[in-house]
Amino acid sequence: MAEQEQNRTEQATPFKLSEARRRGQVAKSLDLNTALITCGMISLLVTTGDDYMRRVCELSARLLASAATLSISSENWPATATHLVLELLDTLWPIAVVGIVLAVLTNLVQTGPILSMEPLKPKFERINPVAGFKRVYNKKMLFEAFKSVLKLVFFGFVLYGFFLSLWFSLAATGGTVEQQLEWLQTHASALLTRLGLALLIIGLLDLAYTRWSFGKQMMMSRRELKEEVKRREGDPLIKAKLRELQRENMKQAQSMSRVPKADVLITNPEHLAIALCYRRDEMNAPLVLAKGADSWAAEMRAVARRQDIPIFENRKLARLLFRRSHVDAAIPPESFLEVAKVYAELNRRRTEQSRVELPA
């Protein structure tokens, strides 16, 4: 198995990729999903954030204004909590809906629609502690940890560059909290835009790496390619044998029309039948016009009876001719003596028949 893993030098076939997709295995970047969702939410907050902030502030002001007179007891707290939750949901539900829609669309953009129950099937490896330990402490997890550190460093550089570019304007805002909050609100959209672009760059890089890694994982060895061909189209040896049998059946079917031209039919007597023909001036040895087994043999016997063709029962000769002879070919040399005896008997019968038919 290790040798087979090392010899994966061929690109994955469309059949293997479709099978992997059916099992739910596709190249998908979670970082790109996060980046697209975050960018969508940032765009929503930049365009409509003031309205949501105003509504949340109004709700908070009403709660604080009624805090002194609000009476909460064991009887009315469920209704009060439900009222507050409904008001908060009425304010924030568009953000939740946009987030859900973006989550669905980002997955569809990367992989398209996938409907597979394979990842939900219970597997022993998922509850096996040894397999779980191997999943936690492996090269992939170490690489994911390394990527997380790189992302943090990248975000740190983005934040550092942003605040460094605004350092002097920050010093000019004054020391009051209101002035600093106003300055932060003015430049918050620019900061969020930079962070969104940073996430998008990371997501695109992760998508490229994920597809490269998935393609490498799906690579196949020559042995796997051959096994796939066998699984899809069948074993080549079996297919060749089937084609040979089909040609033989067609040849037998065509040769059945030549049975009426035969001199004699040699049978087993039930399972085999071989039709022979001999022309002294044209042939060096008798020719096999047709041969068949079981149902073919029964049909050949029926044709021979209808055409008054002599039928000779010789088990040994019939087996020899069926195994060693071919249609449209001369009989094998080792059968010459037995076939000669058959033709001698055939001539004797014809001679006796002709004598009987002579007038007295």
Residue found by looking up tokens 């003031």 in the block = 50
Q: Are 298 and 274 spatial neighbours (Cβ–Cβ below 8 Å)? A: no
pLDDT of residue 1: 44
How far is residue 84's CA from residue 51's CA, in Å, rounded to a whole number?
19
Q: Which of 24, 87, 30 is nearest to 55 (CA)?
A: 87
Q: For residue 4, what pLDDT band results from cuts at 50, 70 and 90?
A: very low
Cα dihedral 141, 142, 146, 148 sign? positive
320-333 pLDDT per residue, tens: 999 998 888 899 99
Give the list of residues 6+ apart from residue 60 with CB closer than 8 angstroms, or none.
none
Residue found by looking up tokens 């035969």 in the block = 262
Is the model more confident about 246 or about 291? Answer: 291
What mean pLDDT comes out for the span 60-83?
72
216-259 pLDDT per residue, tens: 888 888 888 777 777 766 666 777 777 777 777 777 677 778 88
State the virtual CA torsion across 38, 40, 43, 48 in degrees, nearest 10.
Answer: -110
What mean pLDDT comes out for the span 300-315?
90
pLDDT of residue 234: 62
How far is residue 128's CA from residue 132's CA, in Å, rounded to a whole number?
6
Q: How far is CA 38 from CA 103, 152, 205, in A?
A: 10, 16, 16
Q: What share of the chain is helix, strand, coil (3-state, %, to 5)?
A: 70, 5, 20
Q: What single string gives the DSSP state of each residue in 204-269? A: HHHHHHHHHHHHHHT-B-HHHHHHHHHHHH--HHHHHHHHHHHHHHHHHHHHHTTGGG-SEEEE-S
> Which residue type does 96 have?
A
Is the model more confident about 186 or about 309? Answer: 309
Q: For residue 2, what pLDDT band results from cuts at 50, 70 and 90?
A: very low
Whole-number average pLDDT of the chain: 79
Structure tokens at 47: 């365009």
Q: Are 266 and 318 spatial neighbours (Cβ–Cβ below 8 Å)? A: yes
Q: What single string gives the DSSP state of each residue in 166-184? A: THHHHHTT-S-HHHHHHHH
Q: How far is CA 149 from CA 29, 161, 205, 303, 352, in A?
A: 17, 18, 15, 88, 108
3-state secondary structure 14-38: HHHHHHHHHCCCCCCCHHHHHHHHH
312 bridge partner residues: 266
Each domain of the chain, given as residue ranges in start order, spans 2-230, 238-357
Is the model more confident about 336 or about 10? Answer: 336
Q: How far is CA 133 from CA 37, 128, 129, 138, 142, in A?
A: 32, 9, 6, 9, 13
How many CA atoms lie less than 13 Å away from 131 in the CB half-sphere? 6
Residue found by looking up tokens 């022993």 in the block = 124
SS3 301: helix
Q: Are 214 and 11 spatial neighbours (Cβ–Cβ below 8 Å)? A: no
Q: Are 310 and 262 spatial neighbours (Cβ–Cβ below 8 Å)? A: no
For domain 238-357, give the CATH superfamily.
secretion proteins EscU (3.40.1690.10)
Query: Angle, nearest 10°, between helix axes 30-65 and 177-217?
Result: 150
